[in-house]
Structure 1
Amino acid sequence: MGPGKEGLQRLDRDKLHPMQVQQFGEHVLKLDVLEKVWMPTPHGVHLGNMICTMDFRDAKVLELGTGCGLHSILLVYRGASVLTVTEIEQTSMDNARHNIEKHGVQIPVDYQIADWTHVEGGPYDVLIANPPFGKSGKAYRRYFIDKLILDAHTLLKKGGRLVFVQSSMADIPRSIGLMHECGMKVRVVGETDGPFRDYYFDHPDYIVEMAQVPGAYSVRNGRHYERLIVFEARV
């Protein structure tokens, strides 16, 4: 069932970012985030906002790559009855569990150290993810998006829902096409746009690569903007 209480006690308060206060609809989260754990990103915030518009009553939910735990908390607030959360290493998992318990989550939560879709348990009613792309660490940047879509049917019940966020720079039509090829019924839950994050410009080749993707970004008043889309796909 993942890390025990002793894992939480090892969180080093001197290595925490200042508390992140994030509001999602009527819910205000006060998140403690370790320096080596990802802070809430625009992608994650948009996914959180869309989760707050959706119904997860009585759902058995799997979240891949929970990060600081913000989506897991919101899923419970929106009615999830059983939760499995994954992270790739123990420190991030301890941080997520700290935040989940801090926010009063009472439902059963299974904490698994797992590599993306290699998860025990299931099948699940809902699969939630914010797949890596810009910092995927893969030569093929869509690796985690494609694997998520291709493996969803092995993790979800028939009629189950895959919910994930991606940038327009990751090729929206390509994702929709792949989901349709897998027999999924796809809808856009919501989209927003925002300026490029600073690290996008650290690697000029990345910008050149993204310029080859149809509709990857727009430029307004000299600033680059990407769209962020949350999909719901039924298997």
Structure 2
Amino acid sequence: MDWREVTIYTTTEGIGPVEALLEDNGVEGYVLEDAADFEEFLKDTEIYWDYVDEDLVREKRAQETCLKIYLPDSDEGAKQYADIRAALENLKARDEEHAWGRLCTETTLTRQEDWEWGWKQYFKPFPVGKGFMIKPSWETVEDPQGRRILEIDPASSFGTGSHDTTQLCMMALEDAVKPGDKLLDMGTGSGILAIAAAMLGADVQTIVDIDENCLKTAHENAEKNHVEIGRGLCGDALRDPKLAEDIGGGYDVIVANIVADVIIGMSPMFADKLVKGGTLICSGILNERAEEVRAALEKSGFTILSHEKSDDWSAFAAKK
């Protein structure tokens, strides 16, 4: 499948509102190019300016802040793009102070192979939580500092471990998972959370995603890490009763790094599929929706164990 690269032009102040708009339209991953970041870099490295290419400085200082997203080059992707453009027009109408920039888009077509490999230069090993070191397969780690090395090649799937929501879930898994726990991963993406759970000793029985390619990528990544992550089921369990039934129950832990509306809708199903005393870890939630998620979880019989925040993102751990 080819992909449409959509560039949304905004300002540093507009990043938050645009992020919220994208999540509301089902987009969880993006590339951020913030002009303010380069200015901050120049301030911090002023004594080394002789080593900074002048053409690069001019280019970056003229750069407009933008977020880049990737949508499938299909009818579904075209509809999603149209919805995003309409939402941007509504956002622009609310921006009475004109603080959020042009809020317009440009698009280019990206081939599958470019999508999968073009970002490699930016993906380097980094620590997550108390005990993990995330790395791509083409990098080496000389000193893992006693951490478990989790090797991940996300390809076109969401989940390199760099996003706040993924890291919040991984840290919650470190606290929640006990060896032998039966685990369900809803919205598995690259498989990184299922793999992390398996490395912690969980019996990962089921992974679910709406994209068949994600399930293939997740199993390939599990093989790289010498762990099993169970069967993969493809579809939308919120709208497909048979899939919801096929997922089964009796899970000790469910991890769901997905959007707020889906978590709210699935809250009763999560409660039904967990054993008594089981743990739900969920994230992918803008903080402004956190109270709605909390209310839905409590209505479904969950007791909130923790609510961790990072900038605009939240993660809940809840006990049935």
TM-score range, shorter chain: 0.5 to 0.7
Q: Residue 20 of structure 1 contacts residue 32 of structure 1 at CA under 8 Å; is this kept in 2?
A: no
Q: Looking at both structures, which has the greater relative contact order when contacts are Cα pairs under 8 Å and sequence separation is at least 6?
A: 1
Letter in 1 for 2:184: L
| TM-score, normalised relative to structure 1 | 0.67
Cα distance between partner residues in 1 of 2:159 and 2:229: 25
Query: In the TM superposition, what is the alpha-carbon distance from 1:109 to its structure 2 partner?
Result: 1.1
Alignment of 1:213-224 (within 5 A): none
Q: Name the structure 1 match of 2:231.
A: 110
Identical aligned residues as a percent: 21
Cα 1:54–1:20 change in 2 (3 A) is farther
Q: Name the structure 2 match of 1:8.
A: none
Q: Name the structure 2 match of 1:15.
A: 116
Cα 1:185–1:51 change in 2 (3 A) is same
User: Comparing both structures, which one devotes a greater share of its residues to helix?
Assistant: 2
Letter in 2 for 1:45: Q
Asked if 1:59 is matched to 2:59, the reply is no
Alignment of 1:75-114 (within 5 A): 75-105=197-227, 107=228, 109-114=230-235
Structure 1 segments, 4+ long, off by >4 Å, are 11-14
Cα distance between partner residues in 2 of 1:108 and 1:99: 10
What secondary structure, in the 3-state scheme, does the structure 2 residue paired with 1:127 have?
strand
Asked if 1:183 is matched to 2:316, the reply is no
Write out per-residue CA displacement over residues 171-195 of structure 1, whole angstroms, 9 at most, x where no aligned residue.
Answer: 222222222222221111x52423x
Cα 1:50–1:161 change in 2 (3 A) is closer
Query: In the TM superposition, what is the alpha-carbon distance from 1:166 to its structure 2 partner?
Result: 4.1
Cα 1:108–1:169 change in 2 (3 A) is closer
Letter in 1 for 2:300: C
Query: In the TM superposition, what is the alpha-carbon distance from 1:152 to its structure 2 partner?
Result: 1.2
Q: C-alpha root-mean-square deviation of aligned residues, in Å?
A: 2.5
Letter in 2 for 1:83: Q
Query: In the TM superposition, what is the alpha-carbon distance from 1:86 to its structure 2 partner?
Result: 1.1
Write out per-residue CA displacement over residues 63-113 of structure 1, whole angstroms, 9 at most, x where no aligned residue.
Answer: 0011111101110122212421111122111111111111010x4611111
Alignment of 1:126-165 (within 5 A): 126-132=253-259, 142-165=260-283
Query: In the TM superposition, what is the alpha-carbon distance from 1:23 to its structure 2 partner?
Result: 2.8
Q: Name the structure 1 match of 2:172.
A: 50
Cα 1:23–1:151 change in 2 (3 A) is same
Q: Residue 64 of structure 1 contacts residue 116 of structure 1 at CA under 8 Å; is this kept in 2?
A: no
Gaps of 5+ in 1: 1-10, 133-141, 195-225
Cα 1:229–1:15 change in 2 (3 A) is closer
Q: Name the structure 2 match of 1:69.
A: 191
Q: Name the structure 2 match of 1:7.
A: none
Cα 1:108–1:53 change in 2 (3 A) is closer
Letter in 2 for 1:15: E
| TM-score, normalised relative to structure 2 | 0.51
Gaps of 5+ in 2: 1-111, 132-146
Q: Residue 195 of structure 2 contacts residue 229 of structure 2 at CA under 8 Å; is this kept in 1?
A: no
Letter in 1 for 2:230: V
Asked if 1:231 is matched to 2:316, the reply is yes
What secondary structure, in the 3-state scheme, does the structure 2 residue paired with 1:53 have?
helix
Cα distance between partner residues in 1 of 2:187 and 2:288: 18
Q: Name the structure 1 match of 2:102.
A: none
Cα distance between partner residues in 2 of 1:153 and 1:193: 26
Structure 2 counterpart of 1:167, from 250, 273, 285? 285
Cα distance between partner residues in 1 of 2:256 and 2:277: 18
Asked if 1:38 is matched to 2:158, the reply is yes
